[in-house]
Amino acid sequence: MPANLMSKKDMKELAAEAAGSGQQGGDKRVKEVTERLLYRIMQAIDECDVTMDEFWAAVGFIGKAAKNNEFGLLVPGVALEHFLDLRLDEADKRAGVGGGTARTIEGPLYVAGAPLTKGEARMDDGTDPGEVFIISGQVRDESGRPIPNAVVDIWHANSKGGYSFIDGEQAPFNLRRRIQTGDDGRYLARTIVPNGYGCPPESATRELMGLLGRHAERPAHVHFFVSAPGHRMLTTQFNFTGDKYLHTDFAFGTRDELIVTLDRVTDSAQIRDAGLNRPFARATFDVVLTKETSSAPKTVVEREHVVAA
């Protein structure tokens, strides 16, 4: 069939009817968004001359992704999660909010309820032979003052790229900790250097990336939620210089401001001072939180997470 068979007027009317826009009852916001989405989808079908076979193949793909609970991978994979961050950045700018640490995607693998400690924590259980890694930093406000009692919620993959509660191989909450800063706003985490990961071989997400001519890999990274009373919650992560996928992260999570360089420590005195008996890696990641304000959108996001069994 040729493209552009339908008039915009007919498509708009059909989308409005399907969304119940002329009906009493229902949820006004759901109606508004549904109508707009349906109209845009109808436009794409008509403009691209999407065939019946292609349409139903797409429906089957969505069903496969839903069955595998993959939307947490798909959304960042098609840049929508990054787009939400960029849009929130712009809203902050227009509200006069600035100066805080850059945000980036949460990803699909957060688990709430990690053990909470004061000042510092060991995140690994000692079973992973990966390189010892010490992360330290300070949480400050926009004026540079330390923020005491901030909660630094950290999670990352192991040396194989797997996450506890996800890969079925690790102890509960391995490589997941919450650290409450002291009066000086500082935190320290002893852990291991993580590896990046790729989407599962048979996943719908990897299938889509292949059709788009893209890979389905993430560089190594460390996730953070940082919160403190009176301040806006920050969702962020850092990546490492030199990673093969640093600037082609399939999930669009890399931001230039959030790239750190590992310092490889081999000096015996520094190794002893760190309470270790072998060389280790370290990095500093300071965080600046912005004050809570009614003029900017909220940064606490209500979304489904993996539940700790």
Q: What residues act catalytically?
A: 163, 197, 218, 221, 223
Tell me, rounded to whole angstroms, the distance of Cα 305 from its chain centroid.
12
Report the b/e string of 180-208 with b at 16+ CB within 10 A. bbbeebbbbbbbbbbbbbbbeeebbbbbb
**Residue 212, phi then psi, degrees to nearest 5:** -90, 0
Give the N- to C-terminal CA distance of the chain in Å, as an integer: 51
The one-character DSSP state at 202 is T
- Give the CA dihedral 299, 103, 196, 203, nearest 10 degrees: 50
Angle of helix 28-48 relative to helix 8-18, nearest 10 degrees? 140
**H helix count then E strand count, the chain:** 7, 14
> Token pair of 92, please?
């902050």
SS3 195: coil
Stretch (H or E) spanning 187:
strand 186-192
Strand, helix or coil for residue 207: helix
Structure tokens at 219: 């560089």
Structure tokens at 215: 């890979």
In 3D space, the residue among 261, 256, 286 whose CA is nearest the CA of residue 140 turns out to be 286
Cβ–Cβ under 8 Å, residues 296 and 97: yes
227 token code pair: 């919160």
- Beta bridge partner(s), residue 90: none
